[in-house]
């Protein structure tokens, strides 16, 4: 009969995004999440390597049956940003 509605990719993506936003180990709202062919791809930037590892853990907890590709990048605060000083 097909997959249950909760298993549809957009529901899976929503569950993962909510977990990444609300889990205190991650707390990230701006990460990209995509599900294709039984794989989860997470993209974006985080502030620490510890948080990057936490992203993979949280996603694995939400969807343990899917393969996780953590493509997040660690960018230290202020790094890669144009900062203008006003005097």
Q: What is the pLDDT of residue 2?
A: 46
Q: For the chain, list the domains and their CATH numbers.
A: 5-74 (3.30.70)
Cβ-proximal residues to 41 (8 Å cutoff; 6+ apart), any chain: 32, 33, 34, 35, 69, 71
Q: What are the pLDDT tens digits along the chain (87 aa)?
A: 444 445 688 999 999 999 999 999 999 999 999 999 999 999 999 999 999 999 999 999 999 999 999 999 999 876 555 545 454
pTM of the model: 0.79
Please give the pLDDT value at position 86.
59
- Residue 1, pLDDT score: 42
pLDDT of residue 76: 83
pLDDT at residue 74, as a whole number? 96
What was the pLDDT predicted at 6?
55
End-to-end CA distance of the chain: 66
Give 44's strand partners.
72
The DSSP letter of residue 72 is: E
């Amino acid at each position: 009969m097909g997959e249950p509605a909760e298993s549809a990719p957009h529901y899976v993506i929503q569950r993962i995004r909510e977990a990444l936003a609300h889990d205190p180990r991650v707390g990230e709202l701006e990460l990209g999440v995509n599900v294709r062919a039984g794989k989860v791809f997470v993209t974006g930037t985080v502030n620490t390597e510890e948080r990057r590892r936490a992203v993979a853990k949280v996603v694995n907890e939400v969807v343990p049956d899917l393969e996780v590709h953590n493509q997040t990048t660690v960018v230290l605060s202020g790094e890669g940003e144009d900062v203008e000083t006003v005097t």
